[in-house]
Amino acid sequence: MATISDVAKLAGVSPSTVSRTCSNHPSISQRTKERVRKAMAELGYEPNFQATSLATQNSKTFGILLPSSDYDVYQKSFYLEAIRGIGLFCNQKQYMNTIITGQNDEEILQTVQSMVKGGRVEGFILLYSRHDDPVIKYLNSEGILYVLIGKATKDLSDAIYVDNDNIQASRELTNLLISKGHKKIGYISSDSEYNFSQDRKSGYMLALTENSIPMNSQYIVECSGIPDYNNDKIKELLTLEDRPTAIVTSDDVLATLLISTAYTLGLKVPDDLSVASFNDSLLSHLCHPQLTSVDINALQLGIEAASQIINHIENPDLLATKIIVPHRIIERESCSSPK
């Protein structure tokens, strides 16, 4: 059975354009509608009119999806800043938004399906990007417009996303430590199912390879869930006989946990251990010593995501865009040369 994505590919348009053609939306040109309908006839595609009702409502409203509370519940500072950016742009364009989350993926998916079937929103912004996400699968299958904050890994030609170059940022951060004389550098990441976490790990590994520094698998630790549950993993890393002299973490929360654990073991930062991190959140300023951290411009990520979804709502024939927001490293007291 043909899908809306098959029709979009044959017609050379986005899935959301097919969806709007099915509802005879006035924003789609007659020429485009004819091309889409020809592709539908050729493939024998039968539209889901319940889903395409989304496109009939000029509601000027879209949903903002947070990950379920089982995932990264502690990274709210990034989400809040991104939501603030979305809100600032929406205020200018007189668009409304509604925030969606839940206890698990199934609960979020049911809410999204209900909103789609009720035609209450024009599309969605997802504040995260991860592998095999059921919500993304559903949105793709129904041709519903969405924008990711984070790099897409599937359907790249049709995906609209806003992201940082996390590989390059992590490469630069690791190189900063190498430039200070560190050769025993560890990496602590959050759950690897998130695309940003994988990219930051790749950048770390790339920097080691480029500098001919051997990779030690014992130096790489993956933490998932609430940070306090990972104390034992971090203690094991810091009590290795040949422990790292510097560690990159994928976010400031993990860095704060790392510094706290180091102090309980009698290690001082940065004298005994240099720490570098991501997000440049409030924690990086409150931590002692203050954290060297990558500012990923979360506010700008939110602004760009809102800009993209509104542009595609108002101009459905636009090609799927990929926006990279610049980053910068803020060097503070948590990094120094090894003894």
DSSP characters over 136-186:
HHHHHHHT--EEEES---SSTTT--EEE--HHHHHHHHHHHHHHTT--SEE
Write out pLDDT tens, residues 179-227: 999 999 999 998 777 889 999 999 999 999 999 999 999 999 988 655 5
- Answer positive or negative: Cα dihedral of 243, 295, 164, 154: positive
What residues contact residue 178 under an 8 Å CB cut-off, 6+ apart?
185, 207, 211, 213
Q: What is the CATH number of domain 57-164+299-328?
A: 3.40.50.2300
Supply the pLDDT for residue 19. Answer: 77
Judge whether 1-56 and 57-164+299-328 match in fold: no
Dmax over CA atoms of the chain, in Å, equals 72
Report which of 296, 289, 323, 243 is spatially closest to residue 75, judged by C-alpha positions: 296
Per domain, the residue ranges of the chain are 1-56, 57-164+299-328, 166-296
Buried b (16+ CB within 10 A) or exposed e, 222-233: ebbeebeebeee
Determine how many CB atoms are found less than 10 A away from the CB of residue 295: 18
Q: Angle at CA 284, nearest 5°, toward 281 and 285?
A: 100
Supply the pLDDT for residue 20. Answer: 74
First to last CA, the chain: 65
326 close to 297: Cβ distance less than 8 angstroms: yes
Write out pLDDT tens, residues 3-26: 888 888 888 887 777 877 887 766
Is the pLDDT higher at 53 or at 60?
Answer: 60
Which is the CATH superfamily of the domain at 1-56? Answer: lambda repressor-like DNA-binding domains (1.10.260.40)
- Local structure of residue 36 (DSSP, 8 states): H
Highest mean pLDDT of the ranges 130-134, 165-169, 232-236, 255-259: 165-169
Q: CA 33, CA 50: separation in Å to the nearest integer?
A: 19
Determine how many CB atoms are found less than 10 A away from the CB of residue 245: 20
For domain 166-296, which CATH number applies: 2.30.38.10, 3.30.70.20, 3.40.50.2300, 3.60.15.10? Answer: 3.40.50.2300
Write out pLDDT tens, residues 95-108: 999 999 888 889 99
Highest mean pLDDT of the ranges 18-32, 128-142, 241-255: 241-255
Supply the pLDDT for residue 49. Answer: 54
Token pair belonging to 91: 């205020």
220 close to 280: Cβ distance less than 8 angstroms: no
Supply the pLDDT for residue 56. Answer: 46
What mean pLDDT is reported for the chain?
Answer: 88
Token pair belonging to 155: 């359907």
Length of the chain: 339
Determine how many CB atoms are found less than 10 A away from the CB of residue 193: 15
Supply the pLDDT for residue 55. Answer: 45
